[in-house]
């Protein structure tokens, strides 16, 4: 799928930068301001509001998205740097009918309360589980230590990820 | 919060990048420090000169007894780089635990040094390793030690027209090394590096994060390293991570732990 929209050119300010980004499998081309950060591009330009914003300091992790499979803080990632890359957001986890195993597990383990941090935790966890090694509990805790849950529901979050990891270990990839 | 406006320049050669740099057109790589400083209103450059497309700033190689790391290399890649794992595993182990996984995917080793963040794990270990950096300007290139580069908190001795191209770490056969840190927030309270080249009788200790800049010292043997003496040599900055007295205390504790950990590692 390819979508191309020509936007009105800004009347002032530094020249815009052309970007073509694969967002959850859809190729999107836009002219963005150099200062555009990925989270604003996703939320405001594309309407993908699943990704949240909070600290804007790369500390809290709620804005985590995957760029070419690697977790980054979308609040501090220039959209221009995503040119040519594949970006996966929380909206890309499910096909709209079936939940991703991590989403299922978060539901089953009550791994969310207010839910604001959940997209970030899901994307961080996906990056970890997509890696070469199936992580143990210690690796999960270490990987998620840069994500903050203000409701302090860390235990069920770790259990939810651990559950999916265990299934991977027992399954065809184990 | 929206960033202030700036132009983005993306050179593909070092010469082109050098021509673009001015007081108001500054080097940009991972953005983990620069974009935060800009958002906080501490910096307002007219243009960012993106260094990520310049081949000289990428790659890791070993030669002439040195490990040479391109300045634009990201922490996550250095943590798993086969050559670093083989030749300087203590450096890979340190890189694996910087900041958080997102910072490691975005931040570069050169940017880390240029920002001279007082709590940088990278600077502490590099200082202990007696590493140096290559700085290139339109006038030529010079090599300075990391100790000479990092002269104050958030202050690297680098001219606005210079680009940090690579980091050079002397390689030592049979080197053993440990880096340990105490961290409860996003940055460490203290980081301690201890290195031993027994055949050469070369021993180094580095302590960072407690004060304005990391410090490193040479010793003739591991037995000469007295944790309480080290705690008296550092100059802690009281902050949210603790008082001066507390930081001296954790410094001594972590020097002891680093020495204990060194006994458990073979490389």
Interface TM-score (ipTM) > 0.90: yes
pLDDT band per the 50, 70, 90 thresholds, residue A171: low
Q: What gap in Å lies between CA A91 and CA B219, rounded to an integer?
A: 56
Q: What is the mean pLDDT of each run of 10 residues along chain B (267 residues)?
A: 94 98 97 95 96 98 97 98 98 96 97 96 98 97 98 96 98 97 91 98 98 98 98 96 97 98 94
Classify residue B221 by its DSSP letter.
S
For domain B55-170, say whether CATH 3.30.465.10 is its number. Answer: yes
Pair type for strands B150-152 and B155-156: antiparallel
Beta partners for residue B217, in sequence order: B205
- Domains of chain B: which residue ranges? 7-50, 55-170, 176-262
pLDDT above 90 for A170:
no
pLDDT above 80 for A13:
yes
Assess whether the region A2-92 and the region A101-170 belong to the same CATH fold.
Answer: no
For domain A2-92, say whether CATH 3.10.20.30 is its number. Answer: yes
In CATH terms, the superfamily for domain A101-170 is [2Fe-2S]-binding domain (1.10.150.120)
Which pLDDT tens digit goes with each residue over B100-117?
A: 999 999 999 999 999 999
Candidates A38, A72, A83, A132: best to mutate against B (most CBs of B within 10 A) is A72
Q: What gap in Å lies between CA A166 and CA B134, rounded to an integer?
A: 47
pLDDT above 50 for A174:
no
CB pairs under 8 A between A and B: 77
Terminal Cα distance for chain B, rounded: 45
Listed residue (A118, A136, A10, A8) closest to A64, CA to CA: A118
Q: Which residues of A touch B (CB under 8 A)?
A: 13-15, 17, 33-35, 37, 40, 56-59, 61, 64, 67, 70-73, 76-78, 80-81, 124, 127, 143, 145-147
Q: Which residues, including other chains, have CB under 8 Å from residue A33's CB and lie 6 or more apart?
A: A10, A13, A14, A16, A17, B5
Q: According to the model, what pLDDT value does residue A77 have?
A: 98
pLDDT above 80 for A117:
yes
pLDDT above 60 for A173:
no
The CATH class given to the B176-262 domain equals alpha beta
pLDDT above 80 for A99:
yes
Q: Which tokens go with A143?
A: 């990987």
Q: According to the model, what pLDDT value does residue B1 have?
A: 78
* CB contacts, 8 Å: B100 with chain A: 58-59, 61, 145-147
Which pLDDT tens digit goes with each residue over A140-162?
A: 999 999 999 999 889 999 999 99
Listed residue (A49, B3, B31) closest to A65, CA to CA: A49
Q: Which residues, including other chains, have CB under 8 Å from residue B66's CB and lie 6 or more apart?
A: B168, B169, B170, B171
pLDDT above 90 for A8:
no
Which pLDDT tens digit goes with each residue over B142-193?
A: 999 999 999 999 999 999 999 999 999 999 999 999 999 999 888 999 999 9
Q: What gap in Å lies between CA B265 and CA B194, rounded to an integer?
A: 11
- Domains of chain A: which residue ranges? 2-92, 101-170
> Nearest CA of chain A to the CA of B50: how many Å?
9
pLDDT above 80 for A4:
no
Least CB–CB distance from B102: residue in A15, A80, A146: A146
pLDDT above 60 for A172:
no
Candidates A10, A11, A14, A36: best to mutate against B (most CBs of B within 10 A) is A14
Q: According to the model, what pLDDT value does residue A96 have?
A: 86
Are B132 and B141 within 8 A, CB to CB?
no
pLDDT above 60 for A9:
no
């Amino acid at each position: 799928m390819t979508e191309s929209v020509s936007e009105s050119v800004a009347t002032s300010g530094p020249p815009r930068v052309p970007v073509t980004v694969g967002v959850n499998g859809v190729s999107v081309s836009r002219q963005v301001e150099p200062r555009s950060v990925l989270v604003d591009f996703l939320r405001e330009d594309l309407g993908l509001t699943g990704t949240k914003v909070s600290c804007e300091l790369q500390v809290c992790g709620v804005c985590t998205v995957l760029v070419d499979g690697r977790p980054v803080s979308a609040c501090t990632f220039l959209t221009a740097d995503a040119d040519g890359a594949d970006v996966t957001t929380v909206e890309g986890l499910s096909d709209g009918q079936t939940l991703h195993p991590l989403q299922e597990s978060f539901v089953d383990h009550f791994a969310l309360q207010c839910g604001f941090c959940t997209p970030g935790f899901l994307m961080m966890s996906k990056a970890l589980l997509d890696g070469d090694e199936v992580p143990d509990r210690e690796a999960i805790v270490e990987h998620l230590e840069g994500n903050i849950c203000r409701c302090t529901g860390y235990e069920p979050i770790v259990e939810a990820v651990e559950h999916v990891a265990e299934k991977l270990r027992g399954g065809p990839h184990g | 919060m929206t960033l202030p406006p700036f132009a983005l320049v993306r050179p593909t050669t070092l010469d082109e990048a050098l021509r673009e740099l001015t007081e108001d057109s500054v080097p940009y790589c991972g953005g983990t420090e620069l974009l935060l400083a800009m958002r906080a209103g501490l910096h307002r450059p007219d243009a960012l000169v993106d260094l990520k497309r310049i081949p000289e700033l990428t790659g890791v190689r070993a030669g002439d007894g040195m490990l040479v790391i391109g300045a634009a290399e990201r922490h996550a890649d250095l943590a798993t780089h086969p050559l670093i794992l083989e030749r300087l595993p203590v450096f890979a182990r340190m890189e694996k635990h910087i900041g958080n996984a997102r910072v490691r995917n975005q931040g570069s080793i050169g940017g880390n040094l240029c920002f001279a963040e007082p709590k940088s794990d990278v600077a502490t270990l590099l200082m202990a390793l007696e590493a140096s950096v290559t700085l290139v300007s339109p006038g030529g290139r010079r090599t300075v030690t990391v100790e000479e580069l990092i002269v104050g908190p958030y202050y690297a001795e680098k001219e606005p027209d210079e680009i940090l191209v690579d980091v050079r770490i002397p390689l030592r056969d049979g080197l053993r090394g440990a880096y340990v840190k105490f961290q409860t927030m996003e940055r460490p309270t203290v980081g301690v590096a201890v290195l031993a080249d027994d055949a050469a009788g070369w021993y180094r200790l580095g302590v960072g994060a407690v004060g304005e800049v990391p410090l490193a010292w040479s010793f003739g043997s591991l037995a000469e390293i007295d944790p309480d003496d080290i705690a008296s040599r550092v100059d802690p900055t009281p902050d949210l991570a603790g008082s001066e007295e507390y930081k001296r205390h954790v410094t001594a504790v972590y020097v002891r732990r680093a020495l204990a950990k060194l006994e458990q590692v073979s490389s």
